[in-house]
Amino acid sequence: MAKARTVSRPPGATYALSDTGPLISAFQSDSFALLAQIFTEVHTSPTCLAELINHGWEEEVRAVAPTLVVVNLTLSEQNRALTIASHIVQHADTNDPITEHHLGEAQVIALALRPAHRSDVLLLDELAARAIAKQMGVKLSGFPGVLLLAVQGELLSAEELRKRLERCREQGTHYGAAFIKQVYEMAKPMRRTQ
């Protein structure tokens, strides 16, 4: 099981912070190994860990430790996360008016604001949370963006990217056919021709 710990970063390490959604997509499409190739560690919050377990991903979480690291928030970060969650609820793109339902996203946004994480990428798919994080100056991507990085780094083909996104959609992730086609089209010119 991923355990909460204090973070000390080796020089030159590239980390990601992630909300629950992109991690579920990674598990649905058997893509966590790609994340581990791109990022030294993937950090998440205790609330996101609880959400992963509640969604039935406990075995997968255990399998990816120690790459998936749960980072505890300070009391001031917890308070900041509550404020961020209330901003997410008030955003026009939110579909859920309950503040507590946005604590996972809000916590990883609060973690992304730490000086040690300012150059890291936050993996976040939910539109309202992305808008709030962007307003706060957080560097963002979503799971499809990570797959695009994998194609660019020649770890994956454009066709493999498309299949992984379709696998997520088949398991309930809200990636529409038009969106998958758009990401696939973006990926096609990224691979060098042989």
- DSSP β-bridge partners for residue 112: none
For the chain, percent of residues with pLDDT exceeding 90: 80
- Res 13: pLDDT: 60
For the chain, percent of residues with pLDDT exceeding 70: 91
| Distance separating alpha carbons of residues 51 and 186, to the nearest angstrom | 31
- Res 194: pLDDT: 36
Q: At what angle do helices 127-135 and 103-112 cross, to 10 degrees?
A: 30
- Summarised one tens digit per residue, pLDDT across range 4-34 is 444 565 555 679 999 999 999 999 999 999 9
| Distance separating alpha carbons of residues 134 and 118, to the nearest angstrom | 13
- Sorted by where each starts, the structural domains of the chain and their CATH numbers stand as 15-144 (3.40.50.1010)
- Res 82: pLDDT: 97
- Summarised one tens digit per residue, pLDDT across range 35-70 is 999 999 999 999 999 999 999 999 999 999 889 999
Average pLDDT of the residues in 161-185 = 94
- Res 193: pLDDT: 46
CA-to-CA separations, 46 to 4, 35, 73, 117, 130, in angstroms, rounded: 7, 20, 8, 17, 19
Contacts of 136 (CB under 8 A, 6+ apart): 84, 109, 113
Asked if pLDDT for residue 147 goes beyond 80, the answer is yes
Asked if pLDDT for residue 112 goes beyond 50, the answer is yes
